[in-house]
Amino acid sequence: MDNKEREYELERLSMTIGHIKRQLAASGSQCTDSQQQLKGTLADYWGNLGSSACDEAQFIEEMDRQKKLTALVHQKYSRLQRMADSPYFGRIDFWEPQSGSDQAERIYIGISSLSHSGSGELLVYDWRSPVAGMFYDFERGKAWYECPAGRIEGEIRLKRQFKIVNGIMKYMFDADITIEDEMLQAVLSKSSDARMHTIVTSIQREQNQIVRDVGHPVLFVRGPAGSGKTSIALHRIAYLLYHEREHLSSKNVIIFSPNHIFSDYIADVLPEIGEENVLQTTFQDYVKDTGVGQELALEDRSVQLEWLLGDKQAGWAMKVENIRYKSSAAFVKLLDCYVGFLQGNLVREHPPIRFNGEVIFSKGEWKKHFFHNLAHLPAGRRLKKIRQLIKNKLQSAIQRLRQEKIKEITESGNEVNAKTVEAMARLAAGEAAAPLYEIIHKLTELHALSLYKALFTCEEFLNNREVAALLPQTWQEICRQTLRELQAGRVTYEDSFGYLYLLGMLEGFPANREIRHVVVDEAQDYTALQYKIIKQLFPASRWTILGDPAQAVHPYLTTADFAEVSRILQQAGSYFYTLKRAYRSTCEIHAFCQALLPATEKTEAVLRFGGKPRVVRQRQADGTNAWLRAVQVLQREGWQSIALICKTARQAMLVHQAVSERLPAHVILSEDDRFRRGVVVIPSYLAKGLEFDAVLVVQAEQTQYGRPEERNLFYTVCTRALHQLCLFHFDALTPFVAELDTSLYDVMWEENN
Ligand SMILES: Nc1ncnc2c1ncn2[C@@H]1O[C@H](COP(=O)(O)OP(=O)(O)OP(=O)(O)O)[C@@H](O)[C@H]1O
């Protein structure tokens, strides 16, 4: 790029920033005005409170309107502030033959659009606009974009990238493919801080396709660790909010994350690109918030994992069998059969309701209403409607009895006062009906937990040949274990899905039609039952489902694969994307991690080099000194975020106790903790989705990571590293590493570390 071009760009930047500053000043006054207006309305309200001038409903409406307006002007202000810092990051010169001019249009691309306040000319295009999409999709040469008028074809004559910080041009260059990779490497080689950041300046073509896919109601994205799945999900949300802004707002989108630490970790991305954050929740929390199963203590996944991953205790093998079965397709079928069985039998034996010698609700009526008139409703709701029907009939029968009693008392001549007669008759009729209310209530009440318990004891159901074929050999033992827990008032993690599903099928799911897009991240960790529940909760939604089967961290849960999820969601138009490129780790760490997995589909890493992973043999069983020394070295090398990843929370607590006297370190022990910057001690299963400059795998030993089912967990732990990976052991090294080609890592003794 020659000097003239550079000067042009510097002038263009200064002109753009000038515009932004003027708009900022105007927007600042709008913020103050709207704030004052809000205060004024509030003051008026307090002043007129109690007087006839105070119309509460009108006030609430006005406040609501003003609050929305204030939020909008503040949003605009902070967007302009962000733009003043970095107004754009790219430029393409696009020439359209149909334009009639031989001049290409200069299109500057930033996180939001900016118009000239006088002429209205677009000075900066939003990265999500159709024309800006070409920046990600094409190099110089033939290019096109789709817009409402159809496909616009033309030619990109120039593609330029900028790095502007605090309003100052740091660098700029004209991009071709190789330089683009250099740019990407520059982004990736930086030290990571506590939060995930936007990748809007360097979204890659394969990622951009997914971000902008609006044609498919269900998108599945499969990709290896670090391929940008979470980043894509968040940028896709921002894209959809822009593209469908007429009818989609942040309130209509929900993200299911594995835990709160992860939600916390990704919380900055959407605000960084100028969008309001959307609701991020976990499956368990969402269910709790709906009030379903509120009366029970449902066990958390972490509690179960902690028990399973720790030392084997009595009943361990049976518990694993139990978990495997309750997350299997056979158990889903068993539950569906059971729901069918219950619905077919719930009122079959119900007696006729008799009052005062007359049948007010016959056996036939039970059946007619339950199996025909109300068949479209879940069983629990049908029973509630029937309860109301019976009560209405009972009311009429009570009336009749009252009349009879009035006649009886009057004829007896013992009482002449009409009011007293009336009261006595009412009392007598009420007394006669009282026991019946209780019976009606019992007959029309569903107790889901008792019914769930009965699944393990109901011989009539279990003896059915079709049902018996769905039971595992260990069924009797599973029943004993399950009933023991349920009778003690505990719903274990493996039972919670079955129980919630049964509850929903019988009582109806608390569907939320406001949610129009559901994102499930780390989708490989969900069971078929969870998907069946989520589907019912969001009947009006489209779906983006992202995951990596190699990172299924629960070693014993049978999780649903994408084909199964697609069947469960049953929406025409599922589309499957597979990512092949990983961005997080250096090539050395990537190669090491790839080798941990069976040789299936190979993936590639962005060419970025660092040291090989180090396997450090400790001099003594207590590795505290070795870990501390490693952290010191890493900090001297300039790495900011360093994780000591232990297998369990119990170990993490002990390791934290051991190191914290000499090293300021945070510890994360539960799903509700916050993500922290600096040195962190964290259990393996809570580290999923996160990333750190350097990862120290504490106790990378056979005793810890020796069971074949724990391979994915170990892989997930190692793939958290961006730049450095160190594995520590005193006892025999984990077979997952011992079996690898030794050229993939360096071995060192503690002294050399
Ligand atoms: N196009 C890109 N430009 C710059 N950085 C990128 C790009 N794509 C991904 N990254 C970076 O790669 C890292 C991994 O991204 P992300 O966490 O989204 O991947 P993931 O597939 O969800 O990972 P995992 O499955 O291991 O949790 C992040 O630091 C992210 O910023």
Each residue's pLDDT tens digit, 164-221: 999 999 988 887 655 556 667 676 666 666 678 889 988 999 999 999 999 999 999 9
User: Residue 411 C-alpha to ligand 1 middle, in angstroms?
Assistant: 89
Q: Ligand 1 centroid vs 590 CA: distance in angstroms?
A: 13
Backbone dihedral region of 413: left (phi > 0), alpha (psi from -120 to 50 degrees) or beta? left
Residue whose C-alpha is closest to residue 626's, from 717, 695, 726, 702: 726
- Cβ < 6 Å from ligand 1: which residues? 184, 187-188, 199, 202-204, 207, 223, 225-231, 548, 551, 583-584, 689, 691, 719
- Residue 724 CA neighbour count, 13 Å, CB half: 22
Mean pLDDT by 10 residues, the chain (753 residues): 88 95 89 81 73 71 82 87 93 90 93 89 94 92 90 94 92 69 68 78 92 94 95 96 91 93 89 88 84 72 90 86 94 95 89 90 93 92 94 92 89 81 89 90 90 94 93 95 90 91 92 96 94 94 95 90 91 88 94 89 80 93 93 92 96 95 92 86 94 96 93 96 96 95 90 52
| Per-residue pLDDT tens digits for 114-146 | 998 888 899 999 999 999 999 999 989 999 999
Of 231, 262, 688, best ligand 1 pocket probe by most atoms within 8 Å of the beta carbon? 231
- Mutation test residue for ligand 1: of 89, 201, 584, the one with most atoms within 8 Å of CB: 584
Distance 28 CA to ligand 1 centre (A): 36
Domains delineated in the chain: 3-175 (no CATH), 205-292+509-582 (3.40.50.300), 297-344+450-503 (no CATH), 347-420 (no CATH), 587-752 (3.40.50.300)
- Measured in Å, residue 547 CA sits from the centre of ligand 1 at 13
Instruction: Quote the pLDDT of residue 356.
Output: 87
The secondary structure of 75-138, three-state, reads HHHHHHHHHHHCCCCEEEEEECHHHCCCCCEEEEEECCCEECCCCCCEEEEECCCCCCHHHHHC
Q: pLDDT value at position 147?
A: 85
* Alpha carbon nearest to ligand 1 atom 27, residue: 689
pLDDT attached to residue 192:
64
d(CA 495, CA 498): 5
Which pLDDT value is given to residue 299? Answer: 85
Q: How high is the pLDDT of residue 54?
A: 62
What is the model's pLDDT at position 635?
94
Q: Whose alpha carbon is nearest atom 28 of ligand 1?
A: 584
* Distance separating alpha carbons of residues 460 and 708, to the nearest angstrom: 39
pLDDT of residue 628: 95
Annotated binding-site residues for ATP read 223-230
Ligand 1 midpoint to CA 529 (Å): 29
392: Cα separation from own chain's centroid:
45
Residues making up the binding site = 223-230
Q: Which atom of ligand 1 is nearest to the CA of 203?
A: 1
Q: Give the model's pLDDT for residue 188.
A: 66
Tokens of residue 64, six digits: 């609501």
Question: What is the structure's pLDDT at 679?
Answer: 95
Q: State the pairing for strand pair 666-667/679-683.
A: parallel
Amino acid 753: pLDDT = 44
Beta strands 141-147 and 490-491, pairing class: unpaired
Q: Please, is 209 exposed, middle or buried when counting C-beta atoms within 10 Å of its C-beta (0-12, 13-18, 19+)?
A: middle
Residue 460 CB neighbour total at 10 angstroms: 10
Amino acid at 358: E
